Amino acid sequence: MPMSGLLVVDKPLGWSSMAVVRKVRYMAGGVKTGHAGTLDPLATGVLLCCLGKATRVVPRLMGMTKVYEAEVDLSAFTATDDREGQREEVRVAAPVGEAKLREALGRFVGEITQKPPAFSAIKIGGRRAYKLARLGQKVEMVGRTVRVDAIELLGYAWPVARLRITCGKGTYIRSLARDLGVALGAGGHLASLRRTRIGGYDLSLAVDERRLQQPLTQADLLPVPAEGQDNF
């Protein structure tokens, strides 16, 4: 029988999500493979790959709750909203205090309106926004409603805040970093990002880059959760 099931991968730094999918597909003997939620190349962590018949449930799995650990640099903005873009330094009269930071973080919990980054895979007029942005074209992103369940401040030493963010589908942590900086009257971009969980799938279940150098078998795969048990 063709292989079918889920493989949790700890995506390496610098790999695109599709590069991981291509590697998994190759090591699984060419079986149809997809993923349930993109990570940027500069992000690491849980990438949920779906093989064989499990690709049918990708839309359902993409709706699962996600947990991220992020470092936000409040000293500058960038065009890409992460450390890949050129820095635009922001001068502040004094470093933002922790109390002010905590108060601002509270404003981003719940259902919020968020504009995706211009350098994103969202399509505008049939073309990817990041392709237009790389050509120097002005990209006007439309705000949309996303869900943020919780933001925990794990540590703070100006200008870097370490956050744990629990959120729903479609939330851009890069946009959150940018908007947090605006709210504080400072800068804001994503210095690092690691996804630690999608639904019930966390890093303890993940295989790393070294495992992907060897052929995969059915024994490596996890079953698809039953309907309604995606966040077990």
- Three-class SS state of 159: coil
Q: In whole angstroms, how large is the CA radius of gyration of the chain?
A: 19
Within-domain flag for 228: no
Closest CA to 39 of 12, 72, 78: 12
Q: Which residues are catalytic?
A: 40
Same-domain pairing of 106 and 211? no
Within-domain flag for 40: yes
Same-domain pairing of 112 and 70? yes
Same-domain pairing of 216 and 186? no
Same-domain pairing of 134 and 110? yes
| Tens-digit pLDDT string for the chain (232 aa) | 789 999 999 999 999 999 999 999 999 999 999 999 999 899 999 999 999 999 999 999 999 999 999 999 999 999 889 998 889 999 999 999 999 999 999 999 999 999 887 665 566 666 665 555 565 666 666 778 999 999 999 999 999 999 999 999 989 999 999 999 999 999 999 999 999 999 999 999 999 999 999 999 999 999 988 776 655 4
Within-domain flag for 71: yes
What is the extent of the structural domain holding 207? 5-64+199-220
Within-domain flag for 225: no
Give the ranges where 123-199 is alpha helix by DSSP (H). 129-134, 173-184
Same-domain pairing of 138 and 149? yes
CATH of the domain at 154: 3.30.2350.10
- And the tokens for 50? 């779906």
Same-domain pairing of 70 and 172? yes
Find out whether 7 and 23 touch, Cβ atoms under 8 Å. no
Same-domain pairing of 179 and 132? yes
Within-domain flag for 226: no
- Total domain count, the chain: 2
Same-domain pairing of 181 and 70? yes
